[in-house]
Amino acid sequence: MTTVQILGAPQSTFVRVVRIVAEEKRVPYELVPARPHTAEIDAIHPLGRIPVLRHGDVTLCESKAIALYLDRFFDGPSLMPTSPLEQVKVEQWISLVLTGFDPVLVRGYLLAYVFPGTADGQPDHDKIAALVPQVEAHLVILERQIAATGQVVGDSFTLADVYVLPILSYLKDLPESGRIIAASKTLSDYIARHEERPSLRATVPPRA
């Protein structure tokens, strides 16, 4: 059988999302390191974004499409609930991550540390300070959602958790968000429990 190839930078939260799905489904795959807008990526993604997937004659872009392909076309426990209502709620939370949480927590706050664009390459502390109230508000929303069952949706591990955990994994190690998470037993326990999953342990990205 042709090996699945996942192309992208392992530090990307969205690349880690699809890798976690592959690990959960026990799909053998090759991680091909690639940056956005390189020729390999541009050949598959019209906007040059990562991750992309190659599997024989199948090429896919966008993490959600790749995650659903891995979940639906391969054996192993499904990462979508059996309940139609809970399936819709998983879709709802993935959308919230993509359109709301990622822009603030990753593209805004995290990247102000990692790719600050400052003259000396140091974190953009003005931008970080301005974003902290939004970071806290978003983490409170997640805390409230997770508090009921210990998962984002329902009482089992789903694609909603797969989308949330790579973000929280970074945030727990940053000063402001780390303090917020440490003060929340719900979030701290959620992260610690899930970081013991083999799929998360196998996909920890290299840190700068």
Sheet with 52-55: strands ordered across: 29-32, 4-7, 52-55, 58-61
Report whether 100 contacts 142 (CB < 8 A): no
pLDDT band at 207 (very low <50, low <70, confident <90, very high): confident
pLDDT digits (tens, 9 = 90+) for 184-204: 999 999 999 999 999 999 999
Helix/strand/coil percent split, the chain, to 5? 55, 10, 35
CA distance 181 to 179: 5
Last residue of a domain, one of 73, 95, 111: 73
Could you tell me if residue 118 is inside a domain? yes
For 86-110, letters b (16+ CB in 10 Å) and e give: bbebbeebbebbeeebbeebbebbb
pLDDT digits (tens, 9 = 90+) for 145-166: 999 999 999 999 999 999 999 9
Query: Same domain, yes or no, for 89 and 163?
Result: yes
Query: Same domain, yes or no, for 164 and 92?
Result: yes
pLDDT band at 1 (very low <50, low <70, confident <90, very high): low
Last residue of a domain, one of 73, 102, 127: 73
Give the structural domain span for 155: 84-201
pLDDT value of position 192: 98
pLDDT digits (tens, 9 = 90+) for 61-92: 999 999 999 999 999 999 999 999 999 999 99
Last residue of a domain, one of 49, 73, 97: 73
Q: CATH number, domain at 32?
A: 3.40.30.10
Cα angle 170-173-175, degrees, rounded to a multiple of 5? 120
Query: Same domain, yes or no, for 182 and 114?
Result: yes
Torsion sign (Cα): 159, 160, 161, 163: positive
pLDDT value of position 208: 59
CA distance 123 to 114: 7
pLDDT value of position 4: 98
Could you tell me if residue 14 is inside a domain? yes
Query: Same domain, yes or no, for 69 and 160?
Result: no
Q: Could you give the number of structural domains in the chain?
A: 2
Query: Same domain, yes or no, for 93 and 20?
Result: no
Name every residue whose Cβ is closer than 8 Å to that of residue 15 and which is 6 or more positions away in sequence.
Answer: 6, 8, 9, 31, 50, 51, 63
pLDDT digits (tens, 9 = 90+) for 93-140: 999 999 999 999 999 999 999 988 888 888 899 999 999 999 999 999
CA distance 82 to 90: 11
pLDDT band at 2 (very low <50, low <70, confident <90, very high): confident
Query: Same domain, yes or no, for 49 and 100?
Result: no
CA distance 146 to 185: 11
pLDDT value of position 61: 98
Query: Same domain, yes or no, for 63 and 106?
Result: no
